[in-house]
Chain A
Amino acid sequence: MEYVKTLLDKIGLGAERLEMFLLSSSEGARFARIATEMTERIRELGPNPLRAKA
Chain B
Amino acid sequence: MIVGDQKPFDTIKAMLADYQKILILGCETCVAVCYAGGKKEAEVLASALRMAYRLEGQEKEISDAAVQRQCEYEYNEEVADQIKAADVVLSLACGIGVQTMNEQFPEKLTLPGLNTTCLGQPTEPGVWEERCQACGDCVLDMTGGICPIARCAKNLLDGPCGGSQNGQCEINPEIPCAWQLIYDRLKALDRLDLMMEYHPPKNWSTSRDGGLRRSTRELLME
Which A residues are within 8 Å of any B CB, using their own CB?
7, 10-13, 49-50, 53-54
What is the count of residue pairs linking A and B with beta-carbon distances less than 8 angstroms?
A: 26
**CB closest residue in chain A, given B59:** A53
The residues of B that contact A11 with a CB separation of less than 8 Å are 9, 48, 51-52, 55
* B57 contacts the other chain (CB 8 A): yes
With contacts A7-B48, A10-B48, A11-B48 taken as known, whether A53 is within 8 angstroms of B9 at the C-beta atoms is no
**CB closest residue in chain A, given B48:** A11
Q: Are B10 and A10 in contact (CB under 8 A)?
A: yes
CA A9 to CA B197, docked complex, whole Å: 58
The residues of B that contact A49 with a CB separation of less than 8 Å are 55
**CB closest residue in chain B, given A12:** B55
10 example contacts (A-B, Cβ-Cβ < 8 A) are as follows A10-B10, A11-B9, A11-B48, A11-B52, A12-B52, A12-B55, A12-B56, A50-B54, A50-B55, A53-B57
The residues of A that contact B44 with a CB separation of less than 8 Å are 7
**CB closest residue in chain B, given A10:** B9
Q: How far is the CB of B125 from chain A (nearest CB, A)?
A: 14
CA A12 to CA B44, docked complex, whole Å: 15
Residues 138-169 (chain B) with a chain A CB within 8 angstroms: none
Q: Are A13 and B57 in contact (CB under 8 A)?
A: no
Q: A11-B48, A11-B52 are in contact. List 16 more A-B contacts (CB 8 A).
A: A7-B9, A7-B44, A7-B48, A10-B10, A10-B48, A10-B52, A11-B55, A12-B52, A12-B55, A13-B51, A13-B55, A50-B51, A53-B54, A53-B55, A53-B57, A54-B54
CA A7 to CA B12, docked complex, whole Å: 13
CA A10 to CA B48, docked complex, whole Å: 9
The residues of A that contact B55 with a CB separation of less than 8 Å are 11-13, 49-50, 53
Q: How far is the CB of B64 from chain A (nearest CB, A)?
A: 16
Which 8 A-B residue pairings sit nearest by Cβ, starting from the closest? A10-B9, A12-B55, A11-B52, A11-B51, A11-B48, A53-B54, A50-B54, A49-B55
Q: How far is the CB of A16 from chain B (nearest CB, A)?
A: 15
CA A50 to CA B59, docked complex, whole Å: 11
The residues of A that contact B54 with a CB separation of less than 8 Å are 50, 53-54
